[in-house]
Amino acid sequence: MSAPEPAAPTPSDAALLDVDELRVSFATEEGVVQAVDGVTFELRAGEVLAVVGESGSGKSVTAMTLMGLTRSPNARFEGAARYKGTELIGASEDELRRIRGAEIAMIFQDPMTSLNPVQRIGEQIVEQIQEHEGVPDQQARERTVELLDRVGIPRARERVDNYPFEFSGGMRQRVMIALALSCSPSVLIADEPTTALDVTIQAQILHRIRELREETGAAVILVTHDLGVVADIADRIAVMYAGRIVEQGTLDQIFYDPQHPYTWGLLGSITRVDKPRPERLPAIPGLPPSLADRPEGCHFRPRCPYEFAECSKVPPLEARVGGRSAHLDRCWLSVEEKRDQREIRPGEIGLSAAEGTAA
């Protein structure tokens, strides 16, 4: 089965954000934790890039490093991350402050803890607008009301003077989105934006993010562990495992022709409501490695049923599928072997033959 070619919009302009061999490590009592290990990707205007991985895969550290939020005395950074040509990794705090919020904005996972609980929500947004643009109070306030209205908060004019505790979780996440959009950023980093929300509210928020992307043309980096959300909204996907990107490609390439055993294991272990239920859920055996003590070579090796001698060397992230320059993966198996091992049944995806499922 050949995957359809990129359905994603392919903007012709140069990358907005260019991350090159980014490495982040933290010195801890247990040794050096290599949280991000040579991550390279590009983000173009108007696209949604989903960074997918489980806890400890380095997806959040990657996102937060771009915002300069992982800086601490025990952290070490290597590589580069350029936003419209400006280097972010070595940037001074002043430079970062200018970019943060205005050019690159972030939505955090937990709307309960990421707003200031003792400040009215309107003031928090006005403060951000005035920090970046010297507009008068009244104008900033008008814009705040407009923003709240745009993200779908009913009676925005009355609610602008409420405190965060007076909002429900879904409404608070909307306030976070309004805050992130307040200075019309060109890059929006959303770190698990809907994980803390109920499904019906999640559907509303995703719908909103999609609309706003179309209205504003901002590029979005969506950090998530939920492949359902990814299928709903992403154009391209980067799958991370133990600090490295193990596979990268368009939405359809990853879902219909996954090249890395971890990717297809992940796709296979999702519970689905639209298909008959399997006797047993296919699970990836074992646990992700500790980042302080990672296996040599391919990090997925200890959990991989297809391990062979070559796997003790680190596979480079490169295009291995003929005719698809944008589909990269880190696995030594040949494309034919992968397609043999990975069983794709009609209407089902990413099921591993080794795990076996009775449909």
Partner 1 sequence: MSVEETVRGAGAGPSANGDSPLVEVDHLKVFFPIKQGILVEREVARVHAVNDVTLSIAEGETLGLVGESGCGKTTMSRAIMRLIDPTEGALRFRGEDVTNAGRRQMQPLRREMQMVFQDPFASLNPRKRVGQIIGMPLRLHGSNRKDVDAQVRDLLGKVGLHREHVNRFPHEFSGGQRQRIGVARALALEPRLIVLDEPVSALDVSVQAQIINLLDDLQDDFKLTYMFVAHDLSVVRHVSDRIAVMYLGKLMELSPAEELYTKPIHPYTSALLAAIPIPDPEENRRRERIVVGGEPPNPIDPPSGCVFHPRCPLATDVCREVEPPLARYPNGHLAACHHPMSVSPAEIDAATRDSASPLSAGDELPSRTHSTGGGHPA
Which residues sit at the interface with partner 1, rule CB under 8 A? 7, 54-55, 168-171, 198-204, 206-207, 225-232, 251-252, 255-256, 265-267, 269-274, 277-278, 280-285, 287-288, 349
Q: Which residues, in sequence order, are bridge partners of residue 315?
A: none
- Beta carbon of residue 312, minimum distance to partner 1 (angstroms, whole number): 23
Least distance in angstroms from the C-beta of 73 to partner 1 = 23
Min separation Cβ 324 and partner 1, Å: 16
Comparison of 80 and 201: residue with beta carbon closer to partner 1? 201
Cβ nearer to partner 1, comparing 141 with 342: 342
Give the Cα separation of 171 and 208 in Å (integer): 12
Smallest separation (angstroms) from partner 1 to the CB of 303: 9
Residue 71 or residue 277: which is nearer to partner 1 going by CB? 277
The smaller minimum CB distance to partner 1, of residues 79 and 169, is found at 169
CB closer to partner 1 out of 186 and 253:
253
- Closer to partner 1 at the Cβ: 199 or 309? 199
Name which of 141 and 174 has its Cβ closer to partner 1: 174
Chain centroid offset of residue 87 CA: 21
SS3 of the chain: the string is CCCCCCCCCCCCCCCCEEEEEEEEEEEECCEEEEEEEEEEEEECCCCEEEEECCCCCCHHHHHHHHCCCCCCCCEEEEEEEEECCEECCCCCHHHHHHHECCCEEEECCCCCCCCCCCCCHHHHHHHHHHHHCCCCHHHHHHHHHHHHHHCCCCCHHHHCCCCHHHCCHHHHHHHHHHHHHCCCCCEEEEECCCCCCCHHHHHHHHHHHHHHHHHHCCEEEEEECCHHHHHHHCCEEEEEECCEEEEEEEHHHHHHCCCCHHHHHHHHCCCCCCCCCCCCCCCCCCCCCCCCCCCCCCCCHHHCCCCCHHHHCCCCCEECCCCCCCCEECCCCCHHHHHHHEECCCCCCCEECCCCCCC
Least distance in angstroms from the C-beta of 262 to partner 1? 9
Residue 77 Cβ vs partner 1, minimum distance, rounded to whole Å: 26
Q: How far is the CB of 134 from partner 1 (least distance, A)?
A: 37
Closest to 79 (Cα-Cα) out of 70, 68, 69, 90: 90
Q: Which is nearer to partner 1, 183 or 291 (CB)?
A: 291
Report in angstroms how near the CB of residue 184 gets to partner 1 at its nearest: 26
CB 222 to partner 1: min, Å? 12
Residue closer to partner 1 (CB basis): 81 or 230: 230
Question: What are the tokens at 277?
Answer: 């239920």
d(CA 129, CA 136): 10
